[in-house]
Amino acid sequence: MLPVELADWVEVTATRPIGPVLSVRVDAPAKLDVTNGHYTPNPFSVVATVSNQGMEAATDVQITLTLPTGLTLVGVAPLTRISLLQPGESRQVQWSVSAAAQGQETTLTYTVAASMSGVPSRAVSRQITIPPFPFTTSYYMSTIDASAAFQKGCEVRKEGQQGIVVLNFGAPRYLGVKGFGTRLIRGQRAYVTLSQIENAVKAFAFGYQYVQICDSPPANPVAPKLVIAIGTTNSKTYPNENPTIPLADNRVLSDTYILNGIGTTSGQEWAKVVNSVNSYLGGTNAFPAIQAAGAYDAEFGVGEWSNFDLTLGWANSFSKATKAYYYAFGTCDGCPTDPQEANWNVGEKQVMEKAFKISWDVPAAVPLPQVYYGDPNQAQQWANVRWYAHQSPYNANMVFYGGMTGCLRVGCVFRNSSSWRSVPYFQELSPSQGWNALFDTINAPISPDNAINTYPQPNIRWITDIKDQ
């Protein structure tokens, strides 16, 4: 403009808006993978970059992460505050988020929002796709036929299963001149020797390892990675085990065998079976990708060994005779289902003491709890045991390696229910529902003493569903 020249209007354009202006960028994985039987990465990171694109400082900026059902925040609060954000400045906020097991491929949407008083908020939504959670199938064994066990091992590998498989061979029995063995739970409930059990497990492992020699092997089978947990129970007897003897007398007879050494001696002998299978696997270079362990369905009802010392004796003798674990896969019948410690009675605490000793206190013990039902809440029972273990005098951080459901043997009627909490009373949970029940319960924000839960477990490796062979 020339000197003294007039203008009707002047247009001014600023390079940056006047006042604070917030922007948000979110970086996170778009999809989870399945590796070695579990989601990866899980937990995963959500990183929010908050910027001030205005010309004035932003004060007391609130960044909030909002998650849907199926995603859980690990370790930190969903709300973070930034006291001062200068013009042009950026800050990062990071959360760790855990994805719950899904029964089918699921896409979930979450939101990160930045806000401050007097300034328009900014929100960014992102999606993550979660594949169906992998589970293995465990079996109540009805035969020790090596050919059938081989085909079952082939089947497990063909289906791409990795993780843990429990082969439950039933309750210990003393078989006279044949030594120790078990009585199978299913089929004809035959009496079988430990040698027959060992051969069946080796055949199963052979089928899993050498799937290429099975009928119609898969083109690209998953890498062999499996724990074969050789299972027994502390059941005394079954109805009509010997039809000529009344049930009560059968139990007395079983107690007699136990008192003659079956409790301790069968634990040692069971460990020898595990050791022998691992030696075999080592000879074929399959170990440790494929390895054997023990498994113990130890429970405390009227049908089990009435003397807890005998049950514990089996566990301790197993532990002393091998370097392998045994996976405690029983229920916790008699443990409290109430999440409030103040409501637990003396009897419930006594059962939790037994469950803790069998599933964690013994050096070889690892818990793989049964979570067949959501109502009554079996996951809460085991979460209460975990809390009990955390208290004095034990101060033990009990870790659940996985859980066990029993849905496949009854048809999984409610497997498509949106939540494990919606499954009706005494109806079986599906594998994904069982995993979620265990995860949600042990990671509840409030512990049984009504305080903040300071020892969550953000990762549960396995879920297995047991059915008849």
Burial class (CB in 10 A: 0-12, 13-18, 19+), 55: middle
Q: Is residue 382 a contact partner of residue 416, using CB atoms and an 8 Å limit?
A: no
CB 457 within 8 A of CB 403: no
243 lies in the same domain as 275: yes
| Pair (231, 268) in one structural domain | yes
Tell me, yes or no, whether 12 lies in a domain: no
Q: Same domain, yes or no, for 59 and 147?
A: no
Question: In one letter, which amino acid is 4?
Answer: V
DSSP 206-224: HHHHTGGGSSS--SSPPPP
* pLDDT higher than threshold 70 for residue 349: yes
pLDDT-derived band at 55 (thresholds 50, 70, 90) equals confident
Tell whether 269 and 312 lie within a shared domain: yes
For the stretch 165-213, pLDDT in tens is 999 999 888 777 888 888 888 777 788 999 999 999 999 999 999 999 9
Same domain? 331 vs 230 = yes
Which long-range contacts does 174-183 make (Cβ < 8 Å, 24+ apart)? 174/257, 174/260, 174/261, 174/262, 174/266, 179/269, 180/262, 180/265, 180/266, 180/269, 182/232, 183/238, 183/241
Same domain, 126 and 196: no
Q: What is the pLDDT of residue 140?
A: 94
Looking at the 3D structure of the chain, how many domains does it have?
Answer: 2
Residues 181 and 309 in one domain: yes
Residue holding tokens 């900026």? 61
For residue range 306-342, list pLDDT tens digits in order: 678 888 999 999 999 999 999 999 999 999 999 999 9
Q: Return the number of other C-beta atoms located less than 10 Å from residue 219's C-beta.
A: 4
Q: What is the CATH number of the domain that holds 276?
A: 3.20.20
Distance between CA atoms of 121 and 182, rounded to whole angstroms? Answer: 67
User: Running DSSP on this structure, what letter comes out for residue 358?
Assistant: I
The tokens describing 287, both together, are: 């170990």
Pair 52, 168 in one domain: no
Please indicate, yes or no, if residue 438 is contained in any of the structural domains.
yes
435-459 average pLDDT score: 86
Element (H, E) at 62: strand 58-66
CATH number at residue 84: 2.60.40.10
Single residue among 83, 110, 130 that ends a domain in this structure: 130
Question: Where in the sequence is the domain holding 463, given as residue range(s)?
Answer: 136-468
Strand partners, 136: 464
Q: Specify whether 101 is located in the same domain as 176.
A: no
Do the domain assignments include residue 353? yes
Residue 170 covered by a domain: yes
Give this prediction's pTM. Answer: 0.77
Question: Do residues 439 and 378 both lie within one domain?
Answer: yes
Q: Is the pLDDT of residue 269 over 80?
A: yes
pLDDT tier, 261 (very low <50, low <70, confident <90, very high otherwise): low
Q: Is residue 2 part of a domain?
A: no
Where does the pLDDT of residue 42 fall: very low under 50, low under 70, confident under 90, or very high at 90 and above? confident
Which stretch of 20-24, 270-274, 356-360 has the lowest confidence by average pLDDT? Answer: 20-24
Instruction: Retrieve residue 450's tokens.
Output: 């009504």
Q: Please report whether residue 15 resides in a domain.
A: no
Quick one: tokens of 222? 């998953």
User: Are residue 242 and residue 124 in the same domain, yes or no?
Assistant: no
Q: Where are the strands (E) in 131-244, listed by range?
A: 136-140, 163-168, 171-174, 180-183, 191-193, 226-233
From 69, 104, 130, give the residue that closes a domain: 130
Let me know if residue 91 belongs to a domain.
yes
Same structural domain for residues 119 and 143?
A: no
**CA angle centred on 426, ends 443 and 167, rounded to 5°:** 75
Sheet holding 79-85, edge to edge: 79-85, 58-66, 106-116, 119-130
pLDDT tens by residue, 385-401: 999 999 989 999 999 99
Would residue 16 count as lying in a domain?
no
Boundary of a domain, candidates 105, 130, 155: 130
Say what the pLDDT of residue 139 is. 96
